Amino acid sequence: MPDIDNIPKDLERLPELAYNLFWTWRPETQSLFAQLDADLWESTEHNPVRLLNETPNLETAAGDAKFVAAYHRALRDLDSYLARRNTWMEHVYPSAGSVVYFSAEFGLHESLPIYSGGLGVLAGDHVKSASDLGVPLVGVGILYAQGYFRQRLGAGGRQEEVYEPLDPENRPVRPAFGTDGQEISVSVEMLGREVRLKVWKAEVGRTAILLLDSDIPENIPEDRQLTARLYGGDSRTRIAQELILGVGGVRALRAAGLEPAVYHMNEGHAAFSVLERMRELVAAGESFDEARDKVTENTVFTTHTPVPAGHDAFPLDLFEEFTAGWPERLGMSAEDLWALGHKQEPWGAMFNMTVLAMKGSRVRNAVSALHGDVSREMWSYLFENSNRREAHEPITHVTNGVHTWSWLSPELADLFERYSNGRAWRESTQDPTAWAFVEEIPPEALWASHNAVKRGTAEFLNDRLRLQRERNAQAPPRDLDPNVLTIGFARRFATYKRATLLLSDSERLRRIVTDADRPVQFVFAGKAHPADEPAKEFISYLYAATDEFEGRLIVLEDYDMNVARHLVQGVDVWLNNPRRPLEASGTSGQKASLNGAPNLSVLDGWWPEAYNGKNGWVIGEEKEYASEEEQDTADSVSLYTTLENDLVPLYYARNESGVPEGWVEVMKESIRTIAPQFSTQRMVRDYVHKLYVPTATTTSGVRR
């Protein structure tokens, strides 16, 4: 890969700043790149590597004293961060071993589109906080040649998927090198041939992610396409990708000279990693039973969903085709290998990757307290004959959080800095006492900062919506009004998330949104999986309703991390109405709360742990319903009633200075209670305390 070769000597470390994704949570460094060419910075999706490659003359910047000063500040920031000693991890667990974190997707930034939604963004935030805390962690994923699709909405609201080449040379990744100083290349056997994999490396602060890529000349055309698209293709592609992630991932670690103390699988996509690690031990002379016990002892597994479609499963013929030769390598029968993941489904016997991951891990966790209850019931049959500890709590939980610095608006961060009287909130994000200062922020100051962000969000959304409608030869839209109560709903579109619940009573909704004195506007965004036709119909149904409500409801295309940042930072309320209890956790509402946008949510996922009666609002009740229809009706009535009686009146009740003091109190309570408890600083510490360190010390012979 050619290096960026147009860098003046006085700015020779610009590529270093560009390739370490530390800049994704450093607004000052992002501003540095934007100074080079603001339009190019936007058109490249804030991609500093492509920006540097396409900026024709950087000598001008080298001669700009202000730019050079900002450049040196950014370098000092990076150097200080990387050189810092006595991190939290070094202080609390100075001799702890390293962790590898397998995930099929990583949401680090929109300039590296190898994520589809919450699972990937959670993984990205996990890696970032591991870096902040000094946790010795390396990620393993896939570098998809076409990433995830771009979403285009036609004139009728029909989702169209557009795939674009990723072009690694223009992304913030570089080839990974092994202990021999050579670029790492590994292979995975499948279908009677070797699939070669190039390994790339993404630097994320102090941490790194190894990314596997089959799109290289050594492979036949069919195999080059195996890592083309995230969650693309049929079952054959999926099982091939999961062999690449699990088996290829372990081999990439070895080529990099890494022998982690703990192996963490983020969802079942990486479950084949346990088979590869068992194969290594069997090849070294151990029996399968001995290998299984050793591998299981230092493996952690996180399950993310109670929805069946979220657990990959493969029929016997496909499984045997792609795992030919593995029984012999593991020293076991084909029947015993099948039994490691066998699950009887209504449509037939399947090899379930979550079952393999459950059986191949010592500790397992759900991603919220409620999800823990649901998961223990859902998978109870796997642990009926387990030992006493597993029978008591075979699946624990660590509730998800968000990386504060990736999601907090710079405007609010500046406001917090002015009123915090110290750096405790920056250095101890997870500490509730560090956020007590929020109560002391004058209502007018918080309201002014929020509205400044909201105006920027409205401008951003209006520009995108205008381009969207122009492409479809539609009339210009009615602009979003930053003075109107704005409610956001943005997430992966799946039917259980019930995006269309708001439209249950169109006349009642019309009265709410078109009230002359107290109007309300809704912003929807999200992608449906290309094969999920019912979810696509939800998008079309919402889109068809946009004209009906006089521009007070919009559906925005191509939801990504850039759109997500604008929405969570610039709306007034975050709407979440899944069909309880199918939302394992959810994190978008945590990001909104961090920015002072309270949640209006069903008591599902993380919200039951957060809601205190003063920091947001609840939709529906915690109860069982006779049918989904009854639940939908009850929840829609609750949604409308809460809007009419609580949210709208409170938002528009202003003092003589135009500040809604009661509303600002809810904003403050939302920030103060949710920012620390639902940060990935707290979450990663929980993983270290509850899962990583006990697992690592057990394998070293020290029982805890």
Q: State how far Cα 377 lies from the chain centre.
A: 26
What is the distance between the alpha carbons of residues 147 and 141, in angstroms, rounded to a whole number?
12
Res 388: pLDDT: 46
pTM of the model: 0.96
Residues 345 and 478 in one domain: no
Residues 368 and 420 in one domain: no
Domain-located, residue 22: yes
Last residue of a domain, which of 83, 110, 129? 83
Residues 101 and 57 in one domain: no
How many domains does the chain contain in total?
3
Domain-located, residue 412: yes
Q: CA separation (Å) from 356 to 17, 236, 295, 373, 506?
A: 40, 18, 12, 20, 46
Return the CATH number at 425.
3.40.50.2000
Domain-located, residue 374: yes
Residues 264 and 382 in one domain: yes
What is the distance between the alpha carbons of residues 604 and 303, in angstroms, rounded to a whole number?
16
Residues 479 and 466 in one domain: yes
What is the distance between the alpha carbons of residues 39 and 55, in angstroms, rounded to a whole number?
11
**Listed residue (284, 290, 312, 295) closest to 359, CA to CA:** 295
Residues 63 and 93 in one domain: no
Residues 36 and 159 in one domain: no
Residues 64 and 125 in one domain: no
Res 3: pLDDT: 62
The DSSP secondary-structure symbol of 197 reads E
Domain-located, residue 3: no
What is the distance between the alpha carbons of residues 676 and 132, in angstroms, rounded to a whole number?
15
What is the distance between the alpha carbons of residues 201 and 631, in angstroms, rounded to a whole number?
47
Q: What DSSP string describes 26-66? A: -HHHHHHHHHH-HHHHHHTTS-HHHHHHH-S--HHHHT-HH
Domain-located, residue 647: yes
What is the distance between the alpha carbons of residues 461 and 455, in angstroms, rounded to a whole number?
10
Residues 594 and 671: beta-carbon distance below 8 Å: yes
Residues 323 and 430 in one domain: no
CA angle 480, 485, 488 (to 5 degrees): 75
Res 237: pLDDT: 97
The DSSP secondary-structure symbol of 207 reads E
Domain-located, residue 1: no
Residues 253 and 263: beta-carbon distance below 8 Å: no
The low-confidence residues of the chain, meaning pLDDT below 50, are 1-2, 388, 391, 701-704
Last residue of a domain, which of 83, 106, 139? 83
Domain-located, residue 2: no
Domain-located, residue 371: yes
Q: Which residue has the tokens 């099982």?
A: 239
Residue 379 φ/ψ, nearest 5 degrees: -110, 20
Residues 348 and 467 in one domain: no
Which residue range is the domain that position 30 belongs to?
A: 9-83
Write the pLDDT tens digit of every residue in 355-393. 999 999 999 999 999 999 999 999 999 998 765 455 458
Residues 227 and 347 in one domain: yes
Pairing type for strands 485-490 and 573-576 reads parallel
Structure tokens at 251: 């081999």
Q: State how far Cα 106 lies from the chain centre.
A: 7
Residues 164 and 119 in one domain: yes
